[in-house]
Structure formats: C-alpha cells, structure tokens
A = this chain, B = another copy of it.
Amino acid sequence: MSAYDDLMDFQRETEALAQVAGRLGWDQETVMPRGAAHQRGEEMAAMEGVLHARRSDPRIGDWLDRAEAADDVAAANLRLIRRMFDRTAKVPARLAAELARVTSLAQGQWAEARAAEDFAAFVPVLARVVDLRREEAQHLAQGGDAYDALLDDYEPGATAESLTAMFGALRPRLLALRDAALGSPHQPVPLTGTFGEGGQLAIATELATAFGYDFTRGRIDKAVHPFSSGSGADVRITTRTAPDDPFNCFYSTVHEVGHAAYEQAIDPAFALTPLGQGVSMGVHESQSRLYENQLGRSRAFTGWLHGRMTATFGDTGLEPDAFYGAVNRLHRGFIRTEADEVQYNLHVLLRFDLERALIDGTLAPAELEEAWNARFLTDFGYPVDRPSKGCLQDVHWSVGLFGYFPTYTLGNVYAGCLHAALRRDLPDLDAALTRGDTSPATGWLRERLQRWGGLRGPRATVAHATEQEPSEGPLLDYLEAKFAAIYRL
C-alpha cells in the first residue's frame, strides 16, 4: 500500500460517515418522530465528533507528506484533502467547539426572535456569532482578507473584490429592468384557484422525471423546506405544497432536481472521494437555477407544463402565453426565496454588502436592522414593516454562514453562461422542451460539467463547460431579452 492508497482508504471511510451524518439530517426533516428531537441532537453531536476527529487525524498530514499523485485525479484528491486538513489545523479546537455551541444556540434564538418580531432579542447572540466568525476568519486568512477566507469555504477561489466588480455590473441593469417591467402597461395576470395536493405531487414527480432525476438512486418526500441531500448513489430531495401556489411546488422541485441531478451525474469512480460532490455552492446553484429558470420557466417548457396542468386540474383560465406570463411575473415582495428571476439577485446583493460590513467591523450587529431597512427601501422602493420580512428572514447568519449568500448570485451568473453556451450548441432545444424533453440540455450539462465533480476548481469547471471565462454578461442579456418580451418593453 502506498501512502496515497492509505490516505484514500481513510478518506473513503470518512466520506461514507459524512454521508451517514447527512442522511440523519434528511431523516430529521422528513420522517423523524417529533419526540425524538433531543436524542437526535446527541446522535448528531456524536457523529460530528467522529468526523472532526477523523478530519484532524495527524496521520493525514503524514500521508499527505509522502503521497505522490499518479494522475490528475490523484492530484485533485490530494489538493482537496490538503485544503480540508489545513483548514481544520488552522482553527483552534477551542474556537471550533465554541462556534458549534454558539451557532446551535443562536439558531434557536433567531427562530424565537423572528416569531416574536424582536430584532433586539437576536442582537446579543448575533454579535457573538459575528465575533467568533471574525476570529476564525483571522486564523484562516493568516494576514489576508477575512471575508475572503470565509467565502473560500463555499466558493474556493472567489474573492470579495471579484464579486464586488461582478455585482456592481449587475445591480444597475437589474434595477432598470425591474423598474421598466413593473412600469409597463402590459402586466401578466397571476394564476388563481386552488390545486389539490395529489395532483401537485403527481406533476412534481413528472417534472423530476422530465429533468432526469434518477429515482432508483433517490426519492422525493415532503418537508417544510425543500432541499436536496446526499451524494453518489443516494441523493434525496424534498418538496412541499400549498393549495393556492402550485408553482412553488413545481419550481422548488425542479430546483432541487437540479442540485440532485448534479450529484447523481458525477463519475461513479469519484464516489466517496473529495471529487464525488458538487465542486462549490455557486456551481451547485448554477445547476438548480438553470433547471428551474432558463429551462423550467422557458416559454417552450411552460407550454408543456400548461398541458400537464390542464390535464390534471382542468382549465387553468390561462392560455399558454398568459400561463408563461403568470409563471414569470414580477411581484412586490420582501422574501428572497419567493422572489422572481429579476429581483432575486437584488436580495442577494443587499445581503452581500451588509455581511461584508459585519465581518470587516464597519457595521455593528445592533445596527443591522436599520441598515437593512434603509438599503431595502433604496433598492425596492417600499419599506420593510417587520423583521421577519427583513433582516430576520434568513437562517444563514444565525448559524454563522457569512460568505454563503453571494454564491446564490454567482450561481445565477454561471447559469447564464452555461445557458448561453448550450443554446449555442443546441439550436433545436426549444423543440424538445416543448415536448417536455429536457434531455438535450441536461445531457449537455452532464457531459460538459456535472460528471467532473470536484476535479477542477469552480470557475474552471464552468469555463471547461462553456469554453469561455465566466462573466455576468450572458445572464443580463438573457434576463433583458426574456422580460422585454413578456412585458413588451
């Protein structure tokens, strides 16, 4: 056995245990009896303890020192294992434990503060989380930029500087497009009516199949929040239904199928290795958003969906063109996760600017609500009337996820690039989408991007697929063309 083989055997077991811990999370959100919550906490903590001990096992350092890469797959594995090992080594065990303890506490306090519409009650624990993450970032950055060090956990290689430039280019054109659309005399009509759960779930299953989700290596269950969980041969998704909002069920399903299909498509030879998962949050989100928006909300595909809805529920009261408008209409709102394709990124940009200020210390946690509400009024034109619709709407900061939000918009930017490239390569794509057949597009993505897992860095993964360096241009061009047509701008 070479040092590389020993290291990979050890890593393989660690990855298998990480899958087990992930499945425990799936179980908790879908099938766990409610009385089991406390015991589950102990089970999760025990699994985290096992994983942390393995990830910081000193033998990894020895193996890494002696291992030699025989090919580019081995080189990528060694690079990613070293990256994780160094990250663990840089953060003092005391700080890691304190972060785990405080964020667990903070999540509960965030939920209570949100329910009570009481931002002040959340401030002390938020301040503690920010302090701890800043301290962690200093250990990780070793003299470099603290925010970049945090960002690196979710999007290796990305920097605040590059994102600031990209987002700076997005914001004015998105604002202009939003204003033009909402100011147009041609406003799409929303879908109205109530739609039974059985019919919604049947269509959700059809949509998952249409987008290539492999049910022999996955399953769909109901949960409060839609999510995708697992890698390799066991990738499960969840969905939810609301009687008056079938699009929420349909498009959250397609979104999660995008995440899950990526995991399912990765080369099986990479299973239970560092290459066997989506390479970054941004690239992951590019798949889910491309499936959901550029494909799922296209005129061609909504024509097919319109037919499925009519067959299931009877006349929707909307002709196919109007149905397409209803799927894509812009609307006033406060909540990021409910936002339309144009305004979604404005919600993210707001968070990106505020969280950088929290981490660099120029915004005090106590001032967050005021800063949020001011920026929201500037960008959206109407005031936030309560914290649950403002700075308490997302769980992320309570659990210490600083540097995560920008990956949502980066994912949209990557999706724009990938969409432009696949339209270039697949001129007849709409003919297939009209029949509910996504396979030309999803097959292109599988071959060009998904199968490669973590072999290349995030940006290189997208560049390899598109044969171009990623930029925000294609996303903006796509949005402007699409919504100019819908709103007759």
Contacts and interface: CB of A to CB of B under 8 A. Distances in A.
Contacts of A20: 20, 24, 43, 46-47
Contact of A217 (B16, B35, B219, B272): B35
Interface in A1-30: 12-14, 16-17, 19-20, 23-24, 27
A217 B33 contact: yes
B219 A42 contact: no
Contacts of A49: 13
Contact of A216 (B24, B33, B39, B42): B33
Contact of A233 (B14, B36, B46, B233): B36
B219 A39 contact: no
A44 to B, nearest CB: 9
A365 interface: no
Given A12-B42, A33-B217, A36-B217, A17 B232 contact: no
A40 interface: yes
A40 B272 contact: no
A215 interface: yes
B34 A234 contact: no
B32 A16 contact: no
A47 B51 CA distance: 11
Given A39-B19, A40-B234, A216 B46 contact: no
Given A36-B233, A233-B39, A46 B16 contact: yes
Interface string A223-235: 0000000001110
A146 to B, nearest CB: 34
A217 B31 CA distance: 11
Nearest to A231: B39
Contacts of A272: 39, 42
B19 A43 contact: yes
A16 B38 CA distance: 12
A35 B233 contact: yes
Nearest to A230: B36
Interface residues of A, number: 38
A218 interface: yes
Contacts of A12: 42
A257 interface: no
A203 B124 CA distance: 52
Interface in A261-318: 271-272
A394 interface: no
Contacts of A215: 33
A120 interface: no
Contacts of A42: 12-13, 16, 272
Interface string A219-254: 100000000000011101000000000000000000
B47 A216 contact: no
Given A31-B219, A216-B35, A13 B232 contact: no
Contacts of A233: 33, 35-36, 38-40
Given A31-B219, A34-B216, A271 B39 contact: yes
Given A16-B42, A17-B46, A40-B234, 4 more contacts: A20-B20, A27-B27, A31-B31, A39-B234
8 contacts: A13-B45, A13-B46, A17-B43, A31-B31, A33-B215, A35-B233, A36-B233, A39-B271
Enumerate the 7 nearest inter-chain pairs by beta-carbon distance, A residue then B residue, closest first: A36-B234, A35-B216, A16-B46, A35-B217, A39-B233, A13-B46, A36-B233
